[in-house]
Structure 1
């Protein structure tokens, strides 16, 4: 136990799979180090940290202002951490202040492709500067790795690929019996997610089985456009918009679905893909970036060309007409998940990487 060594980590504590992972990583780190978690509000769930972990709260809802920088500066001066780990909203501040105060190890965890910011050039330029101040960049896929090097001009020697992971849920969620085959999508309702392609393919699927139902889970800026498209395609009786749902509700819907479709145009990784695999549900994903790294076509899922509703329909048709193939792909997908993306294995993997970085500077 390195009681005199502190690690700072910034993330939001909630009921998401991402939070589950970082809570687990924090617990593993706290077996060997003191850890201070920076989060933006008092969590509704109890992470059950040991007394080796302190939880502190940013002064602002999102840590981007002077008050937050001053708070972080005071905490660094007090505890002298050997490492900061930041993701999403905490990256800019923790990396910048960590660099200014000479924290030896500054980890920036990137989980989003730059295409999400293509209309915000100033934001990408700022990120490029911030990432140069990090000592190490962690990314969740080879697609994100290429993006970081090509767009932000980060040296490959500075980048490490550590895929996302989640807990296995296959045996903890009951499957409800229903006569209706359900197809599900979960994620942001954003143009980059390709939901319009799914709706068009789904319309053709109704020729095979008019009782099919499509679940669309999530919220976003494209919701009104998608609702209008559902009306134009005469799908009002077959498509259900569920809005935002808790992780457990999403997994329950997935467990009771015949298949899950991930139709993204671009995707850094594709959490939804491994969530579906974790509950033994067959997955069809677009042949793009991070998704194609997870799904090995014809082995543990099916792939289709992005934005090609005819190609997607053909893959959906195959599963609808061949239940044995659907079951086989679901089982293989679960095996793929357990061998590569299971929560506890990933926590130990990432701990070993971080632990070695600290040992290298001793």
Structure 2
């Protein structure tokens, strides 16, 4: 049995389940790779624990939201730098790590310089949802970025980073991807799907998979559904996911009199069966993150047309009028028009879904993503 040669520490302060990254890491583990996690967020810790990968919780200082918390962060920073340096030194000596991956702003500020001092390779993964207009300590962020390989998952993020002042030479675009083997149909499945398509569905089902928190523009989606129901009487909306806003959103659906059309089905481990029941997939996040990207790619693999927000990076994935549609964020009338257009034209709906599957096969290739990340991390693939 070969000893593990590639050991990487992931440091995280982002509340994202990061399904896409878990699948990526899972594949890299099979390529002589070992991951360790330090996270201030429990959701990613649970994902690691489910895989039996080493994971620990870490305090990374106060979250910088305003001037007071910013001043507190600055006052704590010398101690935090020393803390991170000692932690990295321990992992360097004890676990023989050779690289770190930073997901959030906090660890990019705190861990980059100590990692450089210890001779570790530094990888930054840039969340598509990050708002660079609200970037704190911009000069330090730019300075630290020069010491890292910065991975982005869409062209929009790359442009934002360049506009922020980060060097083009440190930025690498890696196309996000998912394992599509679960969506490659055998003959039996194809016959079953053909029969299903030929039969008349009772409802036209809009579906979305999301965490029900304040980032979601669910209210816009609700208002669009209310507009659509006069044209599509058999319309229903299925929301897969849970969160602190679920109760408030249930109340909102009742208030605007669409509660009989909206179904909250909670968190689901197996989303494929729900995707198979949808006719159209809607991206309901105000700022799509990596988990949203994962869900979008799953929807495309299922053969669903996808509607998402414009000018937030989804242009790389959703091709306008070919695989779905992009609408202005918060524009309920525009969203409703696109839903009606897709519902009214069955051939268009099927063609958009088929185009999405083809686009996925051509551009968003899981093995390519794995090999690119392996190369960046200097992994020996066997």
Compute the TM-score of the two structures, normalised by the length of structure 1: 0.79
* Residue 252 (structure 1) aligns with: 273
Shift of 1:162: 0.9
Q: How far apart, in 1, do the equivalents of 2:289 and 2:226 lie?
A: 28
Q: 1:276 to 1:130 in 2, by over 3 A?
A: farther
Shift of 1:328: 0.8
Q: How far apart, in 2, do the equivalents of 1:14 and 1:140 lie?
A: 16
Shift of 1:23: 1.5
Tell me if structure 2 keeps the 8 A contact 1:201–1:313. yes
Q: Deviations over 1:52-102 (max 9, x none)?
A: xxx4332x2667678776443212134554432333486566534312323
* Residue 37 (structure 2) aligns with: 38
* Match of residue 232, structure 1, among 255, 278, 285: 255
Tell me if structure 1 keeps the 8 A contact 2:145–2:170. no
* Match of residue 163, structure 2, among 150, 153, 165: 150
DSSP-derived class of the 1:183 partner:
strand
Shift of 1:284: 1.5
Q: 1:62 to 1:27 in 2, by over 3 A?
A: farther
* Residue 23 (structure 2) aligns with: 20
Shift of 1:191: 4.5
Gaps of 5+ in 1: 48-54
DSSP-derived class of the 1:219 partner:
coil
Alignment of 1:45-60 (within 5 A): 45-46=50-51, 55-58=53-56, 60=57
Across the aligned residues of Structure 1 and Structure 2, the Cα RMSD in angstroms comes to: 3.6
* Residue 164 (structure 1) aligns with: 176
* Residue 50 (structure 1) aligns with: none
DSSP-derived class of the 1:114 partner:
coil
Q: Deviations over 1:252-309 (max 9, x none)?
A: 2112100001144443664132121011112112222211221111112222222211
Tell me if structure 1 keeps the 8 A contact 2:206–2:237. yes
Tell me if structure 2 keeps the 8 A contact 1:265–1:288. no
* Residue 87 (structure 1) aligns with: 103
Number of equivalenced pairs: 338
DSSP-derived class of the 2:131 partner:
helix
* Match of residue 114, structure 1, among 130, 139, 153: 130
Shift of 1:126: 9.7
Gaps of 5+ in 2: 40-44, 62-79
Q: How far apart, in 2, do the equivalents of 1:256 and 1:62 lie?
A: 42
* Match of residue 118, structure 2, among 101, 115, 119: 101
Q: How far apart, in 2, do the equivalents of 1:114 and 1:150 lie?
A: 14
Which shifted more, 3-12 or 190-199? Answer: 3-12
Tell me if structure 2 keeps the 8 A contact 1:96–1:133. no
Tell me if structure 2 keeps the 8 A contact 1:264–1:306. no
Q: 1:126 to 1:233 in 2, by over 3 A?
A: farther
Tell me if structure 2 keeps the 8 A contact 1:138–1:159. yes
Compute the TM-score of the two structures, normalised by the length of structure 2: 0.75
